[in-house]
Amino acid sequence: MKRWRRLAALSLASVVLVACSGQRPVAVSEKSSDPTTPVVGGKLVYGLSADAAGFNPVTDQFAAQSYSMATTIIEPLVSVDVNGDWKPYLAESLTPNKKSDEWTITVRSGISFSDGTPLTGEVVKANLEAQKASPLNNAVLAPVSSFELVDPKTVKVKLKQPWVAFPYYLAAQIGMIVPPSSLKDPRGASQKPVGTGPFTFQEYVPDSRFVVAKNANYWRKGLPYLTQIEFRILPDSQTRAQTLEAGQLDAMGTSRDEDITKFGALKDAFTVQRSQGMAVAEYMFMLNTAVKPFDDIRVRRALAHAMDRKAVISTLRGGLTKEADGPWSKDSKWYAEGGGYPEYDLAKATALVKEVEAEKGPIKFEIISTPDPNTMQGIELAQDMWRKAGIEVTIKQADQADLINRAVTGNFAATVWTQFSSPDPDGEYIWMHKGYAGPVGSIALNFTRLKDDKLSQAFDVGRTSPDEATRKQAYATVQQRLRELVPYVFVDHLDTGAVIAKTTVHGIGEHVLPDGEKGLPMTGSPIPYHPFSGVWITQQ
């Protein structure tokens, strides 16, 4: 009996020891003596914070993590370069007519999908038509009147109005091209994506992992370097960081300032790439200007005057971010001074509150927040600052779906919000233009319900004028009006979105576009994404 017990114990111990013995075997890359010369081969294990809601760009809403995974397989017609300008990707060229109300897209030759179907003008037209018909994008593509096939390589996009920033929209989900088989079987394409990209689909286990393998017939010769990428879905930011530390991830996305500080200090072992420029979203408090008390501009300005942005940054972000006074950061070419954003001044805030109270009585409002601790911390900090100015704020918790629903229907007074990471200012058109502001209770994309003629005209000029100086002037007006009217109490530019990688991982944020220009290192919010075709790894 004792012998059996010993044998059983030994067997159990052996199973556990064998199972615990060292790292999981993975494909290894060649050794490189030169740290700047890419080596071919190897598997990259990459940690993401959330799963995608599907990989079909026509039917599934893409978040940043969706782009991380899907763009390894499906490529867009257009990309954005390091200067923030759009550049052709699957397209060879995009040419506007004189008025920019017609765009001619010519497709590159010699590109095929991984299922062997050639990329043609007809395929591009079918994709764009599917996008226009999709309820996901028909509001964004409302200015498009038709798509016409000019010749086997060329598609003409006819618009109802001039639209100079149209190509930027083709750099995202709308411009990602799938083969006809995916258009015919949208459910299949949602789970098993097919495209022209550097990798092909290998395995997808929802909420666990998404695995892609090198596309041996990729049209960009010499790319990609990696043999395989495994994206691991690890929603808990603490354990995701621990998994990287334990060596079981090669890289991960994060938006936590403590990760940036901690891994940033370990320069020999890790690199930290942070998002910057237009790709950075803004953290703010969004106010509904159609309801009390925010239909009074003095109350909105009082809130901004009472907001100590420096205190928020030092308390919540470890001092890593910069104060925001508008939707675009100072390192963007679109940033412009002017308008006089209400600086932190408690005396001014209190004076405005007293002035309003003398006319209308005490100022009270409810602010909505998701229940997660980080968001709540920010709200409570703001609540305390506003209370000091004499404004009574109650916090109501709502889950993400409820919060968004309230924002869309205008059923809120104030809420915490993060937005504005489009590569071109025109990307914010539908969120701020008066044409998208509806009465409370109806669905409207201009959530603040601010109907300002000057701001809307400036957005129209920015959309229709091909002259960059004119556009810059127009968007300067947008920023000026936002600072004057304060539909948003801006706090900071959330550039804590970062990708942290082992030093053995190279090429993150250093990709080159097909025509040789340097690509935009990273984009997306709150955790940025980047292409993987130029990423390579060396053995430690």
Angle of helix 297-306 versus helix 346-360 axis, rounded to 10: 150
**Applying CB under 8 A, does 311 fall inside the site for other proteins?**
no
CB atoms within 10 A of CB 469: 8
Please report, as residue ranges, which positions from 434 to 453 form the binding site for other proteins (by CB under 8 A). Answer: 442-443, 445
**Applying CB under 8 A, does 1 fall inside the site for other proteins?**
no
By beta-carbon proximity to other proteins, the closer residue of 217 and 394 is 394
The token duo for 115 is 């299922």
List 37, 83, 138, 374, residue binding other proteins (CB under 8 A): 138
List 105, 212, 234, 391, residue binding other proteins (CB under 8 A): 234
By beta-carbon proximity to other proteins, the closer residue of 109 and 442 is 442
**Applying CB under 8 A, does 239 fall inside the site for other proteins?**
yes
CB of 251 to other proteins, least distance (A): 15
Coil, strand or helix at 144: strand
Asked if residues 491 and 416 have their Cβ atoms less than 8 Å apart, the reply is no
By beta-carbon proximity to other proteins, the closer residue of 49 and 383 is 49
CB of 524 to other proteins, least distance (A): 15
Asked if residues 499 and 271 have their Cβ atoms less than 8 Å apart, the reply is no
**Applying CB under 8 A, does 11 fall inside the site for other proteins?**
no
By beta-carbon proximity to other proteins, the closer residue of 147 and 231 is 231
**Applying CB under 8 A, does 251 fall inside the site for other proteins?**
no
Sign of the four-CA dihedral 522, 527, 531, 536: positive
Angle of helix 237-245 versus helix 257-265 axis, rounded to 10: 10
Asked if residues 449 and 485 have their Cβ atoms less than 8 Å apart, the reply is no
Eight-state DSSP code of residue 447: T
**Applying CB under 8 A, does 236 fall inside the site for other proteins?**
yes
List 269, 398, 461, 512, residue binding other proteins (CB under 8 A): 398
List 152, 222, 247, 466, residue binding other proteins (CB under 8 A): 247
The string of DSSP letters for 363-387 reads -EEEEEE-S-HHHHHHHHHHHHHHH
How far is Cα of residue 211 from the mean position of the Cα atoms in its chain? 22
Eight-state DSSP code of residue 513: -
By beta-carbon proximity to other proteins, the closer residue of 445 and 461 is 445
CB atoms within 10 A of CB 437: 22
Asked if residues 474 and 276 have their Cβ atoms less than 8 Å apart, the reply is no
List 18, 216, 347, 358, residue binding other proteins (CB under 8 A): 18
Q: Tokens 């200015």 identify what position?
A: 143
By beta-carbon proximity to other proteins, the closer residue of 356 and 527 is 527
Asked if residues 521 and 26 have their Cβ atoms less than 8 Å apart, the reply is no
By beta-carbon proximity to other proteins, the closer residue of 150 and 246 is 246
Count residues binding other proteins (CB under 8 A): 52
403-432 mask for other proteins (x: CB under 8 A)?
-xxxxx---------------------x--
**Applying CB under 8 A, does 376 fall inside the site for other proteins?**
no
Nearest to 476, CA basis, from 285, 379, 327, 334: 334
Give CA angle at 212 (206, 216), nearest 5°: 160
By beta-carbon proximity to other proteins, the closer residue of 53 and 351 is 53
Burial 67-77 (b: 16+ CB within 10 A, else e): bbbbbbbbbbb
CB of 231 to other proteins, least distance (A): 11
**Applying CB under 8 A, does 384 fall inside the site for other proteins?**
no
**Applying CB under 8 A, does 64 fall inside the site for other proteins?**
no
**Applying CB under 8 A, does 19 fall inside the site for other proteins?**
yes
Span of 86-94, 103-111, 220-228, 400-408 interacting with other proteins by CB under 8 A: 400-408
**Applying CB under 8 A, does 246 fall inside the site for other proteins?**
yes
By beta-carbon proximity to other proteins, the closer residue of 235 and 362 is 235
Asked if residues 107 and 117 have their Cβ atoms less than 8 Å apart, the reply is no
Nearest to 153, CA basis, from 116, 104, 113, 115: 104
Please report, as residue ranges, which positions from 196 to 215 form the binding site for other proteins (by CB under 8 A). Answer: 205-209
Which residues bind to other proteins, rule: CB under 8 A? 15-16, 18-20, 24, 53-54, 60-61, 135-140, 187, 190-191, 205-209, 232-236, 238-240, 242-243, 245-248, 398-402, 404-408, 430, 442-443, 445
